A and B are shown apart, each in its own frame.
Chain A
Amino acid sequence: MNRKKIYSNWFMVPAMAVFTIFFLLPMVISLFFSLTVWDFHSFTFCGFDNFKTFFSDSSLYSSIKNTMIYAVLTCVLKLFLAFFLAVFLTSKIKTKNFLRSVVFFPNLISTVAVGITFCALMHPSKGLINHVIELFGGNGMDWLGNTHTALYAVILTDVWKGVGVATVIFIAGMQSIDKTFYEAASIDGANAWQSLKAITVPLSRPAMNSVIILSFIGGLRTFELIWAMTGGGPGYATEVMASTVYKQYAAGYYGLSTAGNVIMFILIAILAFPLQKFLLSKEVD
């Protein structure tokens, strides 16, 4: 059949139109302004000074490191948790509908509200989490105030909030797997673990790829939760790329901040495009 005709370019036009006008165009404009000192009304061309300022800033490197830790950890944790949750929640347990709702529930609350709540729960002296730890004889700690734990505390909160979406994506993928595969497998004498490995894992590949890409990239550009919980602090301990850029933006250094955006984009692209290519190549197999 004529693929070009059936899968006409026109199908792509509406999406591209909206996306181009409201996203790509501003992005291209911002490339220009990243080379200027800009206050919205007037700009002075300054070459690559903005980039130099960024790279001479010691906090840039720690923020890149934090971003990587954040992205990898949230991605891995969400992937594994969500996969097994989805297997669990597609099994024959009675409460699965209820539990599905419960797992998804955190996603219904806005990031800011989640941040506020977990800050309260993690409060060093008044917080519920430390009270529980003390109840079991442990020593509570200042989760968000300690520079060594703050980032991980935010990561866990992110997983708590985001695992529901990943689970839903997995469930959507697993539900579309033909049941007869499993029947055939069980007739062949495969146990649950074997059919999980041989059927569920490969056939939920598209879903898995979506989860990896989404949570990895989501992790790389994470901002709202960090901002709501620590504001990048204490000091610069939880500063990530997006919060660095945001701070420059908020300070009114529009040129500098767009330069930061460009740096961030390049870094993410270097990591994400090969990852995506790799995952998609697996998918075709």
Chain B
Amino acid sequence: MKKRKRLYILGDAAGLLAAAVFFIVPFAFMLINALKERREANLLNISLPDSVHFENFLQVFQANNYQIITAFKNSGMIVIGSVLILIIVGSMGGYVIQRRKDRTMGVCNALIMTGLMVPAAILPTIWVLQRIHLYKTLTGMILIEAALHIPFTVMLYRGFMGSIPVELEEAGYIDGCSGWKIFTKIIFPLLKPVTSTVIILNAVTIFNDFTNPLYFLPGAENATVQLTLYNFMGQYASSYNLLFADVILITVPMLILFIFFNKRIVDGMVAGAVKG
């Protein structure tokens, strides 16, 4: 037992050291360079700044008429909207696909899997959006993001359903629950852990999506956070200090969300399934 304990402490130490080298150094690199003056930052080293330039962050905020504020608002709306849709439609979809292995579901599953494989067809999508008057709207963007992440979400739910015993639904059926009730009352609560994962992973990917908003949500008033990076990245005028300051600013919301949710994932997971 004592030997075990020592092993764990050793594990802690090794883990921390590896984390410091592989994960914390790159972050420190961004942070340090975000505080430097342009020319110093362009040297790309990790030495401490000669003088600290917090005004870089201010400059990032002011760039392009405070574009970053609009950007945060837009990205926030897109993330909430699409993640909510994904939780609802994804959990329902993953549930039946895992439980019913007949032809209908096989077809649905195969179709949805194509979504993992094929990159979206951009111009035809714009064409469709224009027909239903959703082009250049947040609603359109939300639905697109939802559609693009349905495959992944359904897959996560489906994978997780595998660890939930079918006896639970049978018991519910015997108790006289309808199909809908079985899902909402018995299954959905059990999906908590994976729902947290779904929220985090999708929120992060959608928030960090660079290319899709570029196509489906053009216009300065529709800017999303990732596009603000372009303010500091030009063919003729990169300024690494502002670039990294912007990177940090737009990473912070996801960081907060994650720190906060990370604990929730752990809490939720303790409940686990009744039997493996």
A and B in contact, CB less than 8 Å: yes
Shortest CB-to-CB span from A94 to chain B, Å, is: 5
The answer to whether A136 has its CB under 8 Å from any CB of chain B is no
The answer to whether A207 has its CB under 8 Å from any CB of chain B is yes
Whether A12 contacts B92 in the complex (CB less than 8 A), given A27-B118, A261-B118, comes out as yes
Identity of the chain B residue whose Cβ is nearest the Cβ of A95 in the assembled complex: B12
The answer to whether B22 has its CB under 8 Å from any CB of chain A is yes
Shortest CB-to-CB span from A273 to chain B, Å, is: 7
Shortest CB-to-CB span from A173 to chain B, Å, is: 7
| Residues of chain B lying within 8 A (CB to CB) of residue A268 | 117-118
Q: How far is it, in angstroms, between the C-alpha of A128 and the C-alpha of B46 when the chains are bound?
A: 7
Within 8 A of A (CB), among B38-52: 43-46
B113 pairs with A15, CB closer than 8 A: no
Q: Which of A45-53, A56-64, A100-108, A146-154 contacts B (4 or more CB under 8 A)?
A: A100-108
- How large, as a class, is the contact surface on chain B? 35 or more
Shortest CB-to-CB span from B91 to chain A, Å, is: 9
The answer to whether A42 has its CB under 8 Å from any CB of chain B is no
The answer to whether A37 has its CB under 8 Å from any CB of chain B is no
B118 pairs with A3, CB closer than 8 A: no
B269 pairs with A172, CB closer than 8 A: yes
Q: How far is it, in angstroms, between the C-alpha of A224 and the C-alpha of B96 when the chains are bound?
A: 33
| Residues of chain A lying within 8 A (CB to CB) of residue B244 | 117
Whether A99 contacts B19 in the complex (CB less than 8 A), given A88-B11, A117-B30, A126-B45, comes out as yes
B121 pairs with A110, CB closer than 8 A: no
Q: How far is it, in angstroms, between the C-alpha of A103 and the C-alpha of B89 when the chains are bound?
A: 29
How many A residues touch B, CB cutoff 8 Å?
A: 96
| Residues of chain A lying within 8 A (CB to CB) of residue B233 | 116
B272 pairs with A27, CB closer than 8 A: no
The answer to whether B143 has its CB under 8 Å from any CB of chain A is yes
A18 pairs with B125, CB closer than 8 A: no
| Residues of chain A lying within 8 A (CB to CB) of residue B275 | 178
Q: How far is it, in angstroms, between the C-alpha of A213 and the C-alpha of B159 when the chains are bound?
A: 12
Whether A128 contacts B96 in the complex (CB less than 8 A), given A93-B12, A268-B117, comes out as no
Shortest CB-to-CB span from B227 to chain A, Å, is: 10
- Is chain B's binding surface mostly helix, strand, loop or mixed? helix
The answer to whether A198 has its CB under 8 Å from any CB of chain B is no
| Residues of chain A lying within 8 A (CB to CB) of residue B90 | 15
| Residues of chain A lying within 8 A (CB to CB) of residue B162 | 206, 283
Q: How far is it, in angstroms, between the C-alpha of A201 and the C-alpha of B259 when the chains are bound?
A: 29
Within 8 A of B (CB), among A1-29: 1, 3-9, 11-12, 14-16, 18-19, 21-27, 29
Which one of A19, A176, A273 lies within 8 Å of B115 (CB-CB)?
Answer: A19
Q: How far is it, in angstroms, between the C-alpha of A90 and the C-alpha of B12 when the chains are bound?
A: 12
| Residues of chain B lying within 8 A (CB to CB) of residue A26 | 120-121, 124-125, 127-128
The answer to whether A196 has its CB under 8 Å from any CB of chain B is no
| Residues of chain A lying within 8 A (CB to CB) of residue B46 | 128
Q: How far is it, in angstroms, between the C-alpha of A15 and the C-alpha of B2 when the chains are bound?
A: 53
A108 pairs with B258, CB closer than 8 A: yes
**Other than the known A29-B124, A258-B124, what 19 A-B pairs have Cβ atoms closer than 8 Å?**
A1-B170, A6-B173, A22-B128, A26-B121, A106-B26, A108-B254, A110-B207, A110-B229, A110-B251, A116-B229, A120-B240, A123-B44, A126-B44, A176-B272, A207-B159, A224-B211, A265-B114, A272-B113, A272-B116
Give the A-binding residues of B (Cβ under 8 A): 8-9, 11-12, 15-16, 19, 22-27, 29-30, 33, 43-46, 85, 88-90, 92-93, 95-97, 99-100, 104-105, 108, 110-125, 127-128, 132, 143-144, 146-148, 150-152, 154-156, 159-160, 162-163, 169-170, 173, 179-180, 182-183, 193-194, 197, 200-201, 204, 207-208, 210-211, 226, 229, 233, 240, 243-244, 247, 250-251, 254-255, 258-259, 262-263, 265-266, 269-270, 272-273, 275-276
A-B contact pairs, 28 of them (CB 8 A): A4-B100, A12-B97, A12-B104, A12-B108, A15-B112, A19-B147, A21-B132, A21-B147, A29-B128, A101-B259, A103-B23, A106-B26, A110-B226, A110-B251, A112-B229, A113-B30, A113-B251, A120-B44, A128-B46, A172-B197, A172-B265, A175-B272, A206-B160, A209-B159, A213-B155, A214-B116, A258-B121, A276-B113
